[in-house]
Structure 1
Amino acid sequence: MSIRAIDEMPLTGFHRKLTWACAGGPFLDGYLLSIVGVALVGMSGDLALTTAEQSMIGASALVGIFFGGLCMGPLTDRIGREAMYTADLAVLVVGSVVSVFADAAWQIILLRFVLGVAIGADYPIATSLLAEWAPTRHRGRLLGYLILAWYVGAAAAYVIGYAIAESVGSGAWRWMVASGAVLSALVLLIRVGTPESPLWLVNKGRTAQAQKAIEQAIGRTVPVPELLAAAAVEQSASTYRLRDLFKGVYLRRTLFCGLFYTCQITPMFALYTFGPAILVSFGLHDGNTGNLGSALISLVFALGCLPALRMVDRIGRRPVIIWSFALMAVPLVVLGGGAALPLGVVIACFCAYALFSGGPTVLEWSYPNELFPTSIRATAGGVATSLSRVGAAVGTFLLPISLTGLGVGTTMLIGAGITLVGWVVSVAWAEETKGRTLAESSGLPGDAHSAPADSRAVPR
């Protein structure tokens, strides 16, 4: 059972505004994680940072994202999406402002950890809220826009960082971290007034508040009996807790979400590192101009998401993720030829990987939100995010070692192997959620409410 007024609603201005507001979190994630890399150039000199301290500053946000996703997801399921939706943005504003006045490495490390916690918290908060308001036939595309915003945020960080470095000079790094506070405040203003998720409200038995939220947001009055029926379904699954993510069918789904997310993001970091070397041939050399090259890399990956955004709601999630992983492995295998490859082949492989990676990328937040019930939806999203960040951190740490000890060719072949693991996991465990309501896609096989609403839904 679901709330038909939401599931069957055409896209409205409310949905577009909510998507923009929810996308603000991933945008800030891409921005704040990238701007510190630009700022480290000036920060290292002003604060006399050692190599170890620079590494800790770069890693502290990833560690914070791990704990933010793991801890704040369950809290979001307990106290609500709307309450957490603005609180985590306030932390980003305050943390960025305080960073401007830091005068020691440990302060930057601590503040980056706090910012990472807020970013990690926003993933399950914003994605679950959007998933629970999105019409069924548009849900995959709307959730995919959020990851697209990450790449746009990363590109913006490099462009803005380049402009600040060119215009400010000495002490530019403080203006760079201050820019994060300004952008966070703007996103916070956009989010003010966002209504609570009706599904979360009925899950807690607050049907009157759910009815009011729907009327205010989309102008429809849902009959009380329909809300009570939805509440009965939701509350039948309200006993699920964090431990249930590691039992039975939900264990398989947890492993699937965490593994495919990790297999997608780990090789991507290798291409992010390999990419600037390619762009040197176009005159985008090291130094401040190299930031424009990094911005271009982010935009190439963003463009790769665009075809997948159209396909996930048209041909389905399962074929998109399976074929994407298979095709992603091909350019990595070719790059296994190493530095001897012609430049044109290297560039073509880079672009092909970026294009094919769009499938798993736009599904990073769709699957965790669609495969788990309301009572643990944000928890599942947080766990998937945390597991992926372990892979990202390990990949970031091991990549330079692999490039030095094994060479670029072998490193790319290892990336191809990781990608093929993602393909195997997807073939074995990817479920089709296209055309299904959240109640249908998140239910256990055999549950009455997990059956397809009509013949157009694809069987699992």
Structure 2
Amino acid sequence: MTTASNSAAIAARMDRLPITRRHRLATVAIGLGLFFDLYEIFLAGVLGSVLQKDFHLGKSSLALLLASAFLGMFVGALGMGRVADRLGRRRAFLLSLGTYSLFSLLGAFSTGPVMLVIARFVAGVGIGAEPPVSDTYLGDLLPPRHRGRYTAWAYTLAFLGVPAAGFLGRWLVPAAPLGFAGWRWMFVIGALGALIVFALRTGLPESPRWLESVGRTREAEAVVASFEQQAGELPEPAPQQVTETETGRLANLFVPPYRRRTLMMTVFHILQTLGYYGFGTLVPIVLVAKGFPVVQSLTFTALTYIGYPVGSALSLPFVERVERKFLVIGSAIVMAVFGLGFGLAADTWLIVAFGFLYTAASNFFSNAYHIYQAEIFPTALRGTATSGTYSLSRLASGLMPFVLLPLLNSAGAGTLFTVVAIAMAVVALDVALLGPRTTGRVLEVVNTASGSTAAAGR
């Protein structure tokens, strides 16, 4: 049997499966790992105003502190995606979580801002590729008819990390349990939780699609057989006439049909971060700029952050029923509208309401695009492409405080969120013009020239 026919057989056998216990365990393990990625990201916004006071930070030092983890995430995402394609999805997971856990714990014992910036940078390197590698892994593992819903479930679990960071900040920051500053406890909690997830993920199977793509056919068949054993009696796999022929050469990302997709995701990730992370990490500082005391701003932030898991849960009925391309476009436009409302609101109830609606809409957006980006590149380059383009969002997030904080200080929240709204409108246009359709389609069909033409829907 040729390599291409082996690949078709592995893919067809995985795609005919119902959801098994192994699929569910993988979804939970991925969701818990992503929990700490999001916890770490939103930790900076929660603690920014507190650390500014404790370490007597100026505006430029605060921007560097907010940026440090994101810049580390850029480095991690850029490198770890290639690790996922070269050494396997499972190894990439374990390396990322282990690095994050160690350096997040070191951050808790920082003696000054320099040590904290370094610790957060390296922790960011560790966890930087967690979302795109997770998207790649679940995309490889889940059958087409369940791929969107179970990936959305993983992110719904993950987004509990956002209000967790918000409420922990509200409860711990004013306190010092056992004489240890509350903000330090928040780093310890993140480190120990990630260590538990590290242990859980050691039991995950490797992606059989990846194993097949690197010539480890026997191992791929063994993994598929373990899923089939749990599934029980199954129909014969459908004959699969279309297979991916791309190798892992980076040049393949810059020829049809992937050139359009690479361009699309490059523009997408540079701009979407202004809307998604710009809101989440700067909202406590925006509220202080609106005149609210630090502790009250943390309360409003925690309430606003509830919208993240709620929005993610609300997306579950839609991700398999509505074309994901259109979900990304629609939710980006809704985010622009609610962001403007938040930026211009002066009354407390309007600030909390628009903040909640914004975060809820943003997780329709987030769930849809995380599923989508792992569907539009071939197996041999899926980790590299998703992590490489996603790394640009981390870089943009790292540079964002140096752009948005001065804008907030000089022009106010209304102008800041006008810029955010424009960025999200361009994101919607980018996907509308360049994005293929993917919902319910077999990955190997989406990732061929003929399948791409059919999927474009144009």
Residue from 61, 64, 85 that aligns with 2:69: 61
Q: Are the aligned partners of 1:132 and 1:199 in contact in 2 as well (CA < 8 Å)? A: yes
SS of the counterpart of 1:86? helix
Find the aligned partners of 1:274 and 1:196 in 2 and give their Cα distance: 37
Shift of 1:107: 2.3
Q: In the alignment, which of 361, 364, 370 is matched to residue 365 of structure 1?
A: 370
Confirm or deny: 8 A CA contact 1:265 1:388 kept in the other structure: yes
TM-superposed deviation, 1:418:
1.4
Q: Deviations over 1:281-331 (max 9, x none)?
A: xxx963445434322222113322333332121121122222223333333
Distance verdict in 2 for CA 1:135–1:47, change over 3 Å:
same
Structure-2 separation of matches of 1:417 and 1:144: 27
CA contact (8 A) 2:75 2:128 kept: yes
Aligned residue for 2:400?
395
Equivalent-residue separation in structure 1 for 2:272 and 2:28 (angstroms): 25
Counterpart of 1:186 in structure 2 is 196
- The answer to whether the aligner puts 1:294 opposite 2:301 as a matched pair is yes
Deviations 1:136-170 (A, max 9, x none): 11112222334434532122123233433435155
Residue 316 (structure 2) aligned to one of 296, 309, 318? 309
Residue equivalent to 2:389: 384
Amino acid at match of 2:368: L
Partner-residue secondary structure (3-state), 1:201: helix
Rounded to whole Å, the distance in 1 between the matches of 2:352 and 2:54 is 37
Report what 1:148 is aligned to.
Answer: 156
Aligned residue identity for 2:113 = A
Corresponding residue SS for 1:370: coil
- Displacement of 1:459 in angstroms is 5.0
Of 36-45 and 311-320, deviating more is 36-45
Fraction of identical pairs, as percent: 30
2:301, 2:342 → 1: CA distance? 20
1:350 Cα offset (Å): 3.8
- Taking the aligned partners of 2:457 and 2:434, their CA distance within structure 1 comes to 14
2:128 alignment counterpart: 120
Aligned pair in 2 of structure 1 residues 350, 53: CA closer, same or farther (>3 Å)?
Answer: closer
* C-alpha contact (below 8 Å) 2:242/2:445 kept by paired residues: no
Tell me the TM-score normalized by structure 1. 0.84
Cα distance in 2 for partners of 1:303, 1:398 equals 30
| 1:198 and 2:208 are equivalent in the alignment | yes
Measured after TM superposition, the shift of residue 66 of structure 1 is 0.7
Query: Distance between the aligned counterparts of 2:46 and 2:331, measured in 1?
Result: 32
Contact 1:68 1:117 in 2 (8 A): yes
Question: Which residue identity does 1:61 align to in structure 2?
Answer: A
| Alpha-carbon distance in 2 for matches of 1:300, 1:156 | 12
SS at match of 2:162: helix
The two structures have a TM-score, normalised by structure 2, of 0.85
What are the ranges of 5 or more consecutive residues in structure 2 without an aligned counterpart? 1-7
Partner of 2:379: 374
- Which range is displaced more, 417-426 or 49-58? 49-58
Going from structure 1 to structure 2, the CA distance change for 1:334 and 1:23 (only over 3 Å counts) comes to: closer
Superposed counterparts of 1:72-151, under 5 Å: 72-151=80-159
Gaps of 5+ in 1: none
Q: 1:423 aligns with which of 428, 432, 441?
A: 428
1:182 to partner: Cα distance: 0.9
Describe the SS at the equivalent of 1:248.
coil
Q: What amino acid is aligned across from residue 298 of structure 2 in structure 1?
A: N
CA positional deviation for 1:184: 0.7
Aligned partners of 1:435 and 1:458 also within 8 Å: no
Q: Distance in 1 between matches of 2:363 and 2:269?
A: 12
Is residue 2:14 matched to residue 1:10? no
- Aligned 8 A contact 1:308 1:359 in 2: yes
Between the aligned partners of 1:335 and 1:35, the Cα distance in structure 2 is 21
Show the counterpart of 2:218.
208
State which of 253, 263, 269 in structure 1 corresponds to 2:271. Answer: 263
What letter corresponds to residue 95 of structure 1 in structure 2?
F
Which stretch of the first structure deviates more once superposed, 35-44 or 299-308? 35-44
Cα distance in 2 for partners of 1:161, 1:351 equals 18
Determine helix, strand or coil for the equivalent of 2:398: helix
d(CA) in 2 for partners of 1:405 and 1:46?
A: 25
For residues 37 and 334 of structure 1, the distance between their equivalents in structure 2, rounded to whole angstroms, comes to 20
Q: Which moved more, 1:166-175 or 1:122-131?
A: 166-175
Moved more, 111-120 or 362-371: 362-371
The alpha carbon displacement at 1:258 in A equals: 3.0
Q: Does 1:326 align with 2:333?
A: yes
The counterpart of 1:407, out of the listed 412, 416, 422, is 412
Cα-Cα RMSD: 3.3
Deviates more, 1:144-153 or 1:364-373: 144-153
2:39 partner amino acid: Y
Contact kept? 1:14, 1:218, Cα under 8 Å: no
Q: Is 1:446 matched up with 2:450? A: yes
Aligned residues: 442
Query: Residues 52 and 407 of structure 1: is their aligned pair in 2 closer, same or farther, counting only changes over 3 Å?
Result: closer
Aligned counterparts of 1:359 and 1:151: Cα–Cα separation in 2: 12
In structure 1, what residue type is equivalent to 2:249? R
CA distance in 2, matches of 1:104, 1:330: 40
Q: CA offsets, 1:404-457, max 9 Å, x none? A: 3333333332222212111211221121101111111222x226xx688xxxx8
Q: Offset at 1:45?
A: 6.7
Which one-letter code corresponds to 1:9 in the other structure? L
